[in-house]
Structure 1
């Protein structure tokens, strides 16, 4: 990412990180939390928020060690060219896997809720066209898109206020009714809901005011927390504790009670608009994939890799039948890798780089 071409404003930086986090996890998170921690799952969200915030701030501290390059440049600088190539391969496979899972999930949602008679291959093919047109550009264009989508869809949170008229707040009581073990067990799910902020590894060199990187990350993470927490509490208070687990996507099902004189199926309209929100997760992940791929092969332009990546996704769903269950299984496979890249890698790099720089300063003295 060249500094002179891809400068991000503070607002774009915030909304780009928030957009990556606000993906498909929101649609199923309340059910997944209810299955493990019951209606105490909202506490798990708060714990996950603090853990992800700490990890994100550590990522920023690591990137301050090499402010004009991405994580790949930092690793190459400290460990050598071949380790840098291995890092590019690992990040490329990780982002490619994660982006594909969410991209397919997006198509499954459209097929299930909006266009049940349309083949999944056709849906992905249609989505691939605008995806290619955006991802082939630099990170500045994707940041502008995330900014546009945020302001275009921010009002959708008000869809969840009418169900509060029928809320039963006693569903949340007593607090910690099953003990702390289920709550801490559910934290793993909430952590994965905040996943995506590792893109800060690649955004930092493009930020105009790098001294605001930490503040921007905290704001983005807090914005994600407020949305996750608000919708989860609405779901927990509207449905009974046992009823929540019966809905695949309770976040959408709860909107069935919302009606207007001019509109009945509000949940369909909501999901149609939410597709744009999901795209703010998919597009930066795809960009990161092809960016790492271009670094791996030493290419100056990443755009030629975009079409190949999208084509591979089309070939994949053509020969392998897709379902929500298969998609969930793939999501579980990528979780350990996410935890390693988000938590273990920043801690290890920070310790190593700090010790090495300290030893180097003492040697120079």
Structure 2
């Protein structure tokens, strides 16, 4: 009997994949998109994500937990799903390496300005290689450990309470909001990552707690985002927060403890554990998809090939602004995928069910 992922692990995986480097810029993005008291806009954005999660849960329930690949391959010809698999492999691996490089550049500019980004990235990807090579069940266990090693950073917000003021939070709701698709989409991308649970269907316990686990993981991410954005908007004025590139990073510089002077450096290093989980699971999803196409190549070699290819791709982007622009384009495709793919799977399951009913009637 194969080991299965516990629903607690699923919830933690969703949270760890969703929350990433974007947390450092999120208060500014929220202020630009939704204006004053823009943290309330996160609630609306989270609600849209919940609709998407509901579609994924529906696929899991209607398909009785069977693999998404099994659903596709049972209903579609190879010439349709094989190119689609290729696009998925490319998209997942490119997101993984760009998230990793984005974090590496942030560390470089903050702590090690004299060290090149690519040597950092090589060490980062080697860590991801070993992480993914442990298999999905061990990845779930490691992610749970990383969660407990990083969650304490949220409580650092308590150090800012003496400087927090409700006077900085005006009674006007969404005043000064841009109401543009581009800004709102940037906020939405903070929640991207939950779609990886589509690939976990065959590996979870079939106890009907899967849906609760995914929803709880997402709601916990929402709570963390709300906490940081709420504190930031009570710490800075609306004008200030819009002019600071990384408000959360700046908040860390104001945190003081009797024992630690530069607490932001420790947080950046600890944050490595969260980023490596996100990157590792995107690579894992990429390998899971590639296995359906390149069936004769061993999994470890597929993983190595994908990581090396994505690393070469990252050479073309050395500036954080360029990486963010490319990420926004790739993540747009990921958002379209996260909505449309569950709908496609539900349609295929419905067609299969209709055929089965007609067959039973004829018999």
**TM-score class, shorter:** over 0.9
CA contact (8 A) 2:97 2:311 kept: no
Task: State which of 323, 329, 334 in structure 2 corresponds to 1:327.
Answer: 323
Which moves more between the two structures, 268-277 or 299-308? 299-308
Aligned to 2:111: 114
Displacement of 1:78 after TM fit?
1.8
Distance 2:307 2:354 in 1: 45
Indicate whether 1:291 and 2:326 are aligned. Answer: no
| Residues 355/197 of structure 1: CA separation in 2 closer, same or farther (3 Å cut) | same
CA contact (8 A) 1:10 1:209 kept: no
Deviations 1:131-156 (A, max 9, x none): 21111221112111111100111111
Q: Describe how 1:260-279 pairs up with structure 2 within 5 A.
A: 260-279=257-276
Displacement of 1:180 after TM fit?
7.7
| Residues 338/58 of structure 1: CA separation in 2 closer, same or farther (3 Å cut) | same
Task: State which of 312, 315, 319 in structure 2 corresponds to 1:315.
Answer: 312
CA contact (8 A) 2:31 2:177 kept: no
Distance 1:144 1:264 in 2: 33
Displacement of 1:37 after TM fit?
1.9
Find the residue that maps to 1:191 and give its secondary structure.
helix
Displacement of 1:125 after TM fit?
1.6
Task: State which of 29, 39, 43 in structure 2 corresponds to 1:42.
Answer: 39
CA contact (8 A) 2:186 2:328 kept: no
Structure 1 residue ranges (4+ consecutive) displaced by more than 6 angstroms after TM superposition: none
Aligned to 1:357: 353
Task: State which of 75, 80, 83 in structure 2 corresponds to 1:86.
Answer: 83
| Residues 254/105 of structure 1: CA separation in 2 closer, same or farther (3 Å cut) | same
CA contact (8 A) 1:57 1:217 kept: no
Displacement of 1:159 after TM fit?
1.0
Q: Describe how 1:171-250 pairs up with structure 2 within 5 A.
A: 171-178=168-175, 182=179, 186-250=183-247
| Residues 314/350 of structure 1: CA separation in 2 closer, same or farther (3 Å cut) | closer
> Aligned pair count?
361
Distance 1:196 1:6 in 2: 24
Distance 1:278 1:255 in 2: 18
Aligned to 1:166: 163
Deviations 1:84-139 (A, max 9, x none): 32332122122112112101112111111121111111101222222211112211
Task: Give the unaligned 5+ runs of structure 1.
Answer: none
Find the residue that maps to 1:245 and give its secondary structure.
helix
Task: Give the unaligned 5+ runs of structure 2.
Answer: none
Which moves more between the two structures, 29-38 or 166-175? 166-175
Displacement of 1:72 after TM fit?
2.0
CA contact (8 A) 2:71 2:348 kept: no
Indicate whether 1:145 and 2:135 are aligned. Answer: no
Aligned-residue CA RMSD in angstroms?
2.2
Displacement of 1:311 after TM fit?
2.2
Find the residue that maps to 2:38 and give its secondary structure.
helix
Aligned to 1:17: 14
Find the residue that maps to 1:40 and give its secondary structure.
coil
Aligned to 1:129: 126
Displacement of 1:323 after TM fit?
1.2
Instruction: Tell me the TM-score normalized by structure 1.
Output: 0.92
Displacement of 1:6 after TM fit?
5.4
